Amino acid sequence: MNFLETHCFSPHRICLSLTGLWPYTKTKWKLIGTLLINFILINIPISLILNVICISVEHYNIKLISAILWYFLIYLYYALSYYNNFFKLSKIRKLLTRINRDWCERGGTKEFKIMKQYAEESRTYMILMIIINYASLSANVFIPATPFILDIFYPLNETRPRLFPFPVKFLIDTQKYYYFLLIVTYISVSLLLLAGISHYAFCLSFVQHACGMYMVVGNMLENLFDNKKFDNSKLEDESYPKIVQSIKYHKEALKFSADLNSLYETTYFFMLILGPFLMGCGFIQILQDDAFTIENLAGSIVITINIICNLIVIYWNCYLGQKIIDHSVLLVDKAYSTPWYMLSVRSQILFKFIIMRSMRTSYLSLGKFSILSVKFFASLIQTALSYATVVNSIR
């Protein structure tokens, strides 16, 4: 059974194919997707740089600066995530091959049902991630409609300027080519989000499979005895081959987790650096005195929605890291709950190796400086709020 062609992986496969990151896409379509994403990733920072130049020439506006910096940090993280996957496609292909091999080897077994359950969870998480990212984009769709709504309820003697959903600058007349530029903006941001989602597509599938591997090992240990009694005096017993098999698969699970960690260690290191500044810039915008006034109500609501969506995305990354930690620790509990003292002496020695190695948890590191976990998410939010409070108090 080819796991990569099942419905469990269909959302991942579609997103990755559109961005040119799916390793098994035909060369022509892969080239088109890659060129399109790279064109967008090159042009977005040009617009943001033009915004910074205009602000420095016109006047100092901390709210606008924080908004531009916020969007720039989001762009930077998504771009780094995309290029990390792009330049490590050979490693990604090896991990995908490993997942597919596990599915083929364990088809029809109890372990296969466990892996399929985790693959189904990966599909659900992927669909939710797509919805959350594009919900943020959909909220920004209402910004251009704000002047039309205000003209109905609070009309002025002059025409309100046409707005863009994001702080962008163009080298042509924005009012004359407003609708064309608006469409271009939405397409660009949609592709940027797709580039970011491609990171979660790989990460979700790999983390879920790693957790499934740990659960398979735990299931092997729980089913060692099969309700049979063993004679301690026997040197050989029926459990010995099962323990050997459990150790081999545990080693494979550890190797898979280590490869996964090395694949995304750099990406999560940038999350460690950019995360507090990203969320701090978002909090600065909603802490402004005029944030929720009538004139800025729509924009403030959209900013709040964007911050919530970004918090969910960052938490999701931390949750995946926490999930690997929890599953590797759970293996220790499963090993201890097994009556291993009923085994032969040499089986007990092997079992002790499983217990000792399981005490060293697997994790996703942030450039060897920290570990991705729920605790890290809490510290990130605390740091971001501290930055925002300090900046808001000295402005």
In tens, the pLDDT along 12-60 reads: 888 888 888 888 877 777 788 788 887 777 777 666 666 666 655 555 5
Q: Is the pLDDT of residue 122 over 80?
A: yes
Mean pLDDT of 181-193: 80
pLDDT at 261 exceeding the cut of 70: yes
Q: Which of 292, 261, 288 is nearest to 395 (CA)?
A: 288
What does pTM read for this prediction? 0.84
Query: How confident is the model at residue 291, as a pLDDT?
Result: 63
Dump pLDDT digits (tens) for 152-182.
666 666 666 666 776 666 666 677 777 777 7
56-60, 124-128, 134-138: least confidently modelled range: 56-60
Q: Are 20 and 34 in contact (CB under 8 A)?
A: yes
Q: In the structure encoding, which two tokens stand for residue 386, read together?
A: 């501290």
Q: Which of 213-217, 348-352, 354-358, 389-393 has the highest mean pLDDT?
A: 213-217
What pLDDT shows up at residue 167?
Answer: 66
Query: Is the pLDDT at 230 greater than 60, yes or no?
Result: no
Residue pLDDT, tens place only, 277-296: 777 777 777 776 566 666 66
Q: What is the dihedral of CA 85, 91, 95, 101, to 10 degrees?
A: 140
For residue 150, pLDDT over 80 is answered with no
Q: Spell out the residues 6+ positions from residue 185 whose beta carbon is closer than 8 angstroms to its own.
A: 164, 165, 166, 168
**DSSP H/E element including 22:** none
pLDDT for the residue numbered 380? 83
Q: Is the Cα torsion angle 108, 259, 219, 215 positive or negative in sign? A: negative
The average pLDDT across 365-384 equals: 83
| Per-residue confidence (pLDDT) for residue 286, from 0 to 100 | 74
Question: Across all residues in the chain, what is the average pLDDT?
Answer: 77
What are the Cα distances from residue 239, in Å, to 130, 233, 246, 336?
Answer: 45, 14, 10, 16
Is pLDDT at 318 greater than 60 in this prediction? Answer: yes
Letter for the amino acid at 227?
Answer: N
pLDDT at site 233? 46
Looking at residue 240, its pLDDT comes to 76
Q: Are 3 and 118 in contact (CB under 8 A)?
A: no
- Determine the pLDDT at residue 234: 46
Per-residue pLDDT band at 147 (split at 50, 70, 90)? low
Give the pLDDT band of residue 235 (cuts 50, 70, 90): very low
Q: Are 184 and 39 in contact (CB under 8 A)?
A: no
